[in-house]
Amino acid sequence: MFKLRYNSPKAWVDAVMNDFDTFLVDHAAAEKKASGMAVSMLSHYPDRQELVMAMVDLSLEEMVHFRDVLKLMNKRGLILAPDTKDAYVNKLRKHMRQGSELYMLDRLIIAGIIEARGCERFGLIADALPEGELKGFYKAITESEARHESLFIDLARTYFEDSVVDARLDELLDVEAEICAALPIQAALH
């Protein structure tokens, strides 16, 4: 599909592995927010039938992931934390352009990039985990994120010319690389 322009460092993987409980709590929050984002998109674009159906399915899948992470947390005696703002997502959102069509295009592409980053990072975690339940779970999550990355870019191509999607994707991949490179190293998805 497309390639991210920044590779998450080993120091990030080490931070997650050294404080996996904190990471699980953050992961749960990310899944819950992803489900909410899908519902928000279908609410904003009720006339876009392909998008509505895709977002219904996505919101349900993300909520299942949320439930599954909660189960892992419960086994460890962890509880949810209050929602906090995700600096990575908010910095990306600042690059969304005004105007209904431009905003929709940017929203779809940025969602695809966020899913691609999740795919990369969950894959790194899956690789670092020892054989067992957690490793299998994160392998499955990685595959799911890869599908979501494609989903958003395919939706963008449904509503916009390929050349327009490709040009904006190229710009936003550079932006995302700069944002991601500046993120603090911590036991969090972003």
pLDDT along the chain (190 residues), means of 10: 94 98 97 96 96 98 97 96 93 95 97 97 98 96 93 97 98 98 96
pLDDT attached to residue 1: 74
Q: Which phi and psi angles does 69 have, rounded to 5°?
A: -65, -40
User: Are 80 and 25 contacting, i.e. CB atoms less than 8 angstroms apart?
Assistant: yes
The full DSSP string for 178-189 is HHHHTS---SS-
Domains of the chain: 10-76+86-181 (1.20.1260.10)
Instruction: Indicate the burial class of 25 (C-beta count within 10 angstroms; 0-12, 13-18, 19 or more).
Output: buried
pLDDT in the model for residue 4: 97
Buried b (16+ CB within 10 A) or exposed e, 115-138: bbbbbbbbbbbbeebeeeeeeebb
Residue-level pLDDT at 77: 97
Instruction: Identify whether the C-beta of residue 89 lies closer than 8 Å to the C-beta of residue 113.
Output: no
Claim: this prediction has a pTM higher than 0.75: yes
